[in-house]
């Protein structure tokens, strides 16, 4: 791998072929739209964050058969419910960004490693613990925690709805497949070793990024330290060092472009119902391009995540500081992406200059 291979510019103008991505996008858009609109209609938008993260269940098993998707989403939904429950309990005991940011970083780091291991053993796709890091830190940092029973009912109901939507295309004869429950496939010892190795890097990347963001927070005037943790684990997913480094660089570029879009949305001051519609559209668009053109996907993922934050803030009656929100997102993303890229380059550099492998980019973490 040459340094010129890390140039992210060519990837801005290429896009991979489609693979039924519109079906995934429609499913995910519906999965987030219906629960959020329901909460708005019953005047409980304060529960929106629990529905938003429960809806992440629909992202798993995107192009698999109905039987495989059902199994994967059941596992993914169960894990997400456990993470949300742990986060609500943590938030109620003062482990939040505002009350104890260092404790939040520590707990979220543990979640990043534990969920990466579980996702690996359960063979979840997407792999890793990015969504669980985001969910745990965001939910535990909600300023006003709603009753535990209502929060968990919202999360469980949304997970169940996501699984139902995942099977929804079976109503069309042309899309109906046999609902086969496949036997559990045991991982090999080599796969176990790789799972734990990957989890170690999730712990390192999330922990270092969160610590840096927390330590630099007062000087830089930033909050939301977990945004750095989320950005740090993005480069860890991929099949090669080149791909992973480019993914980290593309995260920064896509975030910047997405913040420009978010600034325009904030300027319009949309009502909650319009924010929900925009969130659904962006969720659909993100799934259309997340596996094909990461920069383009990140352009909508950025305002999608921020709108979810704004929606929760509005629901709890707190004011929204738009400029600070945009500034925090960019700075935290840069911190996290730099840490993530460093975690990817370290083992590559070790193999190249210490072990002197002929082509370190082709190795397991290459």
Domains in the chain: boundaries: 19-168+189-362
Q: How high is the mean pLDDT of the chain? A: 87
- Write the pLDDT tens digit of every residue in 321-337: 888 899 999 999 999 99
Residue 359 has pLDDT above 60, yes or no: no
Contacting residues for 203 by C-beta, under 8 A, at least 6 apart: 109, 110, 112, 113, 116
- Write the pLDDT tens digit of every residue in 88-125: 999 999 888 888 999 999 999 999 999 999 999 999 98
* pLDDT score, position 356: 64
As to burial, measured by CB atoms within 10 angstroms (0-12 exposed, 13-18 middle, 19+ buried), residue 7 is exposed
Compute the average pLDDT of residues 354-366. Answer: 51
* pLDDT score, position 184: 67
Return the SS3 of 98: coil
Rg value, the chain, Cα: 20
pLDDT band at 349 (very low <50, low <70, confident <90, very high): confident
Q: Say if pTM beats, i.e. exceeds, 0.75.
A: yes
Q: How far is CA 255 from CA 251, 262, 299, 333, in A?
A: 6, 10, 6, 8
Residue 366 has pLDDT above 50, yes or no: no
pLDDT band at 279 (very low <50, low <70, confident <90, very high): very high
Residue 213 has pLDDT above 80, yes or no: yes
| Comparison of pLDDT for 183 and 295, the residue scoring more | 295
Handedness of CA 286, 109, 125, 336 (dihedral sign): positive
């Amino acid at each position: 791998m040459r340094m010129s291979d890390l140039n992210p510019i060519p990837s801005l103008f290429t896009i991979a072929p489609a693979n039924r991505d519109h079906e995934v996008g429609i499913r995910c858009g519906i999965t987030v739209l219906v629960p959020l609109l329901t909460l708005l209609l019953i005047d409980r938008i304060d529960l929106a964050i629990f529905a938003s993260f429960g809806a992440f269940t629909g992202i798993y098993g995107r192009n698999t058969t109905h039987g495989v998707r059902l199994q994967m989403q059941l596992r993914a939904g169960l894990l997400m419910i456990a993470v949300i429950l742990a986060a609500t309990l943590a938030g109620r005991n003062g482990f939040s960004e505002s009350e104890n940011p260092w404790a939040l970083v520590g707990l979220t780091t543990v979640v990043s490693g534990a969920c990466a291991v579980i996702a690996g053993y359960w063979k979840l796709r997407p792999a890793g613990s990015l969504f669980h890091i985001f969910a745990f830190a965001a939910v535990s940092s909600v300023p006003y925690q709603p009753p535990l029973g209502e929060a968990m009912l919202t999360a469980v109901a949304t997970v169940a709805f996501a699984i139902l939507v995942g099977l929804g295309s079976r109503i069309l004869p042309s899309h109906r497949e046999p609902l086969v429950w496949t036997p559990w496939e045991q991982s090999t010892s080599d796969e176990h070793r790789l799972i734990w190795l990957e989890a170690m890097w999730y712990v390192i990347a999330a922990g270092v990024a969160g610590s840096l963001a927390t330590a630099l927070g007062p000087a830089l005037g930033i909050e939301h330290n977990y945004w750095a943790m989320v950005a740090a684990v993005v480069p860890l997913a991929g099949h090669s060092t080149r791909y992973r480094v480019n993914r980290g660089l593309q995260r920064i570029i896509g975030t910047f472009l997405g913040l420009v879009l978010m600034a325009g949305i904030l300027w319009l001051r949309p009502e909650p119902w319009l924010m929900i519609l925009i969130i659904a559209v962006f969720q659909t668009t993100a799934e259309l391009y997340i596996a094909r053109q990461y920069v383009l996907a990140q352009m909508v993922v950025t305002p999608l995540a921020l709108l979810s934050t704004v929606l929760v803030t509005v629901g709890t009656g707190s004011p929204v500081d738009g400029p600070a929100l945009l500034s925090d997102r960019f700075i935290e993303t840069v911190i996290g992406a730099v840490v993530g890229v460093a975690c990817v380059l370290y083992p590559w550099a070790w193999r190249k200059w210490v072990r002197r492998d002929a082509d370190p980019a082709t190795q397991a973490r290459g």
